[in-house]
Amino acid sequence: MMTALDDIGRRDLLAGGLALAMFAGPSLTQAQENKAMYGLIGQMKAAPGKRDELVAILAEDTQGMPGCLSYIVAKDTTDADALWITEVWTDKDSHAASLKLPSVQAAIAKARPIIAGFGHRFETAPVGGVGLGGV
């Protein structure tokens, strides 16, 4: 008698099991470190007409930030002067350390004169997603 399991190829079963395992919990590295990822979602307001200039400053030289898993600068679609910055870090300490990097300090100094203010700011605890290092 053939069972439903016999209808599923061994390769398909293994692939499905591996996919389920990837989404079921934290990565091995994350579990070993036993630290929660740290996320930020924040709105920044540029001085009128300066949003593109602010985008250029915030988006330049973002590759060398240890612990940064994702850093995205996006234009707000309803406010011509607003941006949304979404960040994911391996942990909160990595984010704090990034603020001391010379390249980040230089970007902050360059951007400060054209930042009109800040809107919403949310801290998050990311648990998975595309581009987060196999979480």
Chain centroid to CA 38: how far?
9
What local confidence, expressed as pLDDT, does residue 109 receive? 95
Whole-angstrom distance, CA of residue 65 vs CA of residue 97: 9
The mean pLDDT of 33-37, rounded to a whole number, is: 75
Residue 72: the pLDDT is 94
**What is the pTM assigned to this prediction?**
0.70
Is residue 77 a part of any domain in this protein? Answer: yes
Q: Is 68 part of a structural domain of the chain?
A: yes
Which band of pLDDT confidence, cut at 50, 70 and 90, is reported for residue 8? very low
The answer to whether residue 25 sits within a structural domain is no
The answer as to whether 21 is a domain residue is no
| Strand-pair partners of 74 | 84
16 domain-assigned: no
Q: Kindly state whether residue 24 falls inside one of the protein's structural domains.
A: no
Token readout for 101 is 């990097």
Q: What is the dihedral of CA 40, 46, 51, 57, to 10 degrees?
A: -60
Which of helix, strand or coil describes residue 19? helix
CATH number, residue 71: 3.30.70.100
The per-residue pLDDT for range 39-84, each reduced to its tens digit, is 999 999 999 999 999 999 998 877 778 999 999 999 999 999 999 9
Number of separate domains in the chain: 1
Q: Is residue 99 part of a domain?
A: yes
For residue 77, give its domain range: 35-124
